[in-house]
Structure 1
């Protein structure tokens, strides 16, 4: 269990998040949603230890996150930030192998090499293993980084907008894979998504943030209401349900109450 107990995060005088209390269970995908600039990325950076809580405590299976010497804490995480760059003069396979950088020597053993190739196969890019990573599209680079995170075999997965550069097919591929691996490995998975429909489809729990505070935490069916979306995003929506019972968000397009016909305009 990954627990936040009354956590407040500050950078200088600026408060990025305040009084966050939530418990995240193994084997579940927790999707963080909320308007831009509301503390979603700050939450992931705090869990990873890049930002230190100004108040409160973070615990993993009852053990508090240390204030110093964070190396052992971070080794338990697979962290995929949003701004990845990857303008490296390395092959796709070499980038994936960097996921085990702490364990690599001058020679990569066959077992590790096969693990890296399997991670690439899982994301559909094994045929590009020898390609220079800087020659790939942004979406392909995102999938390479996900393969790198897979290779780390983490206990906790943190992903910040992992599908933002992907087309629909690869969004589904990555999130389906994340779902399967979370269940199989008992990961505690925390992923930031802007697409509310993807959040509803793949999230076991939604962590709803606004103005740096926790607005709601629960299943998509319990959390995603038209009232909440209107309040957070300032957009009127209809909330229906798909064939599996997951909420489906449809913005209500602004329409003229008295449409003018082309003939009237011409007159």
Structure 2
């Protein structure tokens, strides 16, 4: 279990996150949603130990995060930040193997190499193994870094917009694999997503942030509502439910487009005049 008690982050006079209290259970995928600038990335960075807490505390399976033991704390975390730019003269396979950096010696073991190849195969990107990572597209780099994170065998997964550069197929592959491994391995998994429908489809629990504060927490079917989304994002939406009872969001245009036939008639009439 990951426990957040009164977690508060401030930089000078700017409050990033205020008074967050949460209990996140192992074996569940928790997805953070909310408008831009509401503290989502700051929260992940704080959980990784990159941002110091102004107030409050964090515990993972009973062990507190402390400033003097951050190296040990991070060894149990698989962290994938937003920036996937890799200016390294390494192959995709070599980047994945770095997921076991803490246990690597001067010689790469067969087990480490096999595990790295299996991670690439599981994500359907084994064909990239020998490609220099700096030649890969943004989406391909995201998949390679996700494979690296998997190889860490973490207790806690922190993923910041892991599907932002992926096409629809690879979005589903990554999220399916993340959800399955979270359940099978008993990870505490926390991901930031902007796609509300993807979040609703895969999250066990949604963490909804607005203005740095917790606005809602719970299963998607109980949390996602038209009023909540309109209040946070200031856009009109309809919220429907699929055959499994999961919500999906449809945004509504503020103004209705003119009928195509009417527009075509008006253009033709103008031309004829």
Which TM-score applies when normalising by structure 2? Answer: 0.94
Q: Is 2:230 aligned against 1:230?
A: yes
> Separation in 1 of the partners of 2:262 and 2:177?
50
Quote how far apart the aligned CAs of 1:258 are.
8.9
CA change 1:223–1:105 in 2 (3 A) is: same
For 2:254, the equivalent position in structure 1 comes to: 254
For 2:62, the equivalent position in structure 1 comes to: 62
> Separation in 2 of the partners of 1:136 and 1:167?
14
Quote how far apart the aligned CAs of 1:257 are.
9.7
> Separation in 1 of the partners of 2:257 and 2:155?
54
Q: Which runs of 5+ in 2 are unaligned?
A: none
For 1:135, the equivalent position in structure 2 comes to: 135
For 1:152, the equivalent position in structure 2 comes to: 152
Contact 2:93 2:117 in 1 (8 A): yes
Stretch moving more, 52-61 or 17-26: 52-61
Q: Deviations over 1:129-188 (max 9, x none)?
A: 111111111111100000000000000000000000000000000000001100100000
> Separation in 2 of the partners of 1:70 and 1:254?
48
Which TM-score applies when normalising by structure 1? Answer: 0.96
> Separation in 2 of the partners of 1:214 and 1:60?
20
> Separation in 2 of the partners of 1:168 and 1:256?
28
For 2:93, the equivalent position in structure 1 comes to: 93
> Separation in 2 of the partners of 1:151 and 1:165?
21
Quote how far apart the aligned CAs of 1:13 are.
2.7
Give the 5 Å matches for 1:107-118.
Answer: 107-118=107-118
Cα-Cα RMSD: 1.6
CA change 1:257–1:196 in 2 (3 A) is: closer
For 1:175, the equivalent position in structure 2 comes to: 175
The number of residues matched between the two structures is: 267
Contact 2:85 2:138 in 1 (8 A): no
Quote how far apart the aligned CAs of 1:64 are.
1.6
> Separation in 2 of the partners of 1:202 and 1:83?
23
CA change 1:255–1:59 in 2 (3 A) is: same
Q: Which runs of 5+ in 1 are unaligned?
A: none
> Separation in 2 of the partners of 1:149 and 1:256?
45
Partner SS for 2:98: helix
Partner SS for 1:127: helix
